[in-house]
Amino acid sequence: MLFFIKQCSNSYYPHHFVTNFIKMFGLYSMRRRRLWFKILILLTIPSVILWWYLNQTKFKAAESQRVNIEEEGKNEYVEYMNNNNNNNNVVKKPAYTSSKESIHQRKAIIVPVINRGRILSNKDREFEAMIRRDLANIVPGLGDNGAAVELSGEEGKLAQEVMKKEAFNLVASNKVSYNRTIVDARHPLCKSVQYDDDLPDVSVIIIFNNEAWSSLIRTIHSVLNGSPAHLLKQIVLVDDKSDREELMGKLEYYMRTRLPNKVVLHRLSQRSGLIRARLEGAKLATGEVLMFLDSHCEVGTQWLEPLLHRIKEERTAVVVPIIDVIDDGTLEYMHNEGSLLFQIGGFSWSGHFTWHDIPDRELSRRGSVIAPTWSPTMAGGLFAIDADYFWESGSYDDKMDLWGGENLEMSFRIWQCGGTVETIPCSRVGHIFRSFHPYSFPGHKDTHGINTARTVEVWMDDYKELFYMHRP
């Protein structure tokens, strides 16, 4: 035994130890070396065969499960379409598609895409079941072309109760397709405008905090359906510390199985508010243009090209679409059928955003009825800006808290630092205007008042006295 230990201590490498061990027991002769080699071969071959067999069995099981899941999804889709075709109570209207590309894109989004070939985990199966229940609740054709959704009876009563919490008709929203069409509300002259092929690409940044599932998903699909694929660089979703269960794993699963990779999600570790959340989204964006969009919108026909075209012409122009109202009670897309009458942004001396008719001097200055129209301020929920200019001009004031006043601050800063704020008449986006905020503000502070006071101290000079007079 002592000899054995000594031999081991002199073995600096593992193969030296093995060699010494074999020599000790007289196993190192040529004949025995051949014998041990044959034994090694005989042990290796069955092991390789067994390994191959087990992996083939596992692969076939996974493939069988994937095929069964895909077939189930296809059958559900066929059943859904048959119900759509057999539903005589629904008025069917053709969906707008601007090109073959958008047709293919729409089909790719509607048809179930189940897990991209991977085995579903137990949790994923739960998410899949939830999503299919959501889809089963959708009424084919309901709300198409932006039509109003009227609910009656017990369903209508439930909708009224839910509105007290959500600040819009969530019951109706859950019954409307994520891919519903809306009417082309542009002025007729807009339909003949040709845009450059080499427009800058865009990152659409959508901030949300406890947004209702159906309104958020409809916003995402609307942007995907209504935007040319080569111009839409990415959609950046920023979750401002939501605590709704459906916005957790279910959202990530939905993105993984039903949305393209250009849709990305970033979650904030603590509640930061719209201003700081948008800054985080802008840091993640890679597009040449940043498009900020609220999480309860539906974009109109060819909404993106006019905004990008104007920024390409003038990089210091901060541009906003005409914002149409999506009724909070019926989800009706309300518009003026291409009328020349739209309003621009202003403000009151109390520091609130207001809407105003276009003054005569601006009507004369702009020349054409569909030309970019100067606006003193913007509502703030929807606007596009050159990405580099966003940072050069000061981005957002990150010392502002949560929400409120940031739209006036940016408007004043852009105008006083050489830029312009412009409404682009050929771009239209629908927005659900809620009568109250369905989410809470930490600390219950008047963040709008505090942020606006910060704005007037920096940008209004002697006129700030008027603010304090109207908002002591």
Say if residues 108 and 179 touch (Cβ distance below 8 Å): no
- Do residues 400 and 408 make contact, with C-beta atoms less than 8 angstroms apart? no
Is residue 195 a contact partner of residue 226, using CB atoms and an 8 Å limit?
no
Query: What distance in Å separates the CA atoms of residue 459 and residue 454, rounded to the nearest whole number?
Result: 9
The per-residue pLDDT for 472 is 74
Which of 102-106, 301-305, 336-340 has the lowest average pLDDT? 102-106
Rounded distance between C-alpha atoms, residue 207 and residue 209, angstroms: 7
Answer yes or no: is pLDDT of 372 > 70.
Answer: yes
In whole angstroms, what is the distance from residue 142 CA to residue 331 CA? 10
Average pLDDT, the chain: 83
**94 burial type by CB count under 10 A (0-12 exposed, 13-18 middle, 19+ buried):** exposed
**Hey, is 430 helix, strand or coil?**
strand
Per-residue pLDDT, averaged over 26-35, amounts to 62
Q: How many residues would you count in the chain?
A: 472
Quick: pLDDT tens for 374-422.
Answer: 999 999 999 999 999 999 999 998 888 777 889 999 999 999 999 999 9
Which pLDDT value is given to residue 298?
98
Q: Tokens 């800006």 map to which residue?
A: 385
More confident residue, 65 or 173: 173
Residue 308 pLDDT exceeds 90: yes
Percent of the chain with pLDDT over 90: 65
Pick the range with the lowest mean pLDDT from 93-107, 311-325, 448-462.
93-107
Residues 182 and 174: their CA atoms lie apart, in Å, by 17
What is the reported pLDDT for 93? Answer: 33
* Inter-CA distances, 316 with 388, 420, 421, Å: 10, 7, 9
Where does the pLDDT of residue 37 fall: very low under 50, low under 70, confident under 90, or very high at 90 and above? confident
Indicate if the pLDDT at residue 27 is higher than 80.
Answer: no
Average pLDDT for 53-80: 49
pLDDT of residue 320: 98
Q: Which two tokens stand for residue 168?
A: 């819009």
- Highest-confidence range of 12-21, 75-84, 199-208, by mean pLDDT? 199-208
pTM exceeds 0.95, yes or no:
no
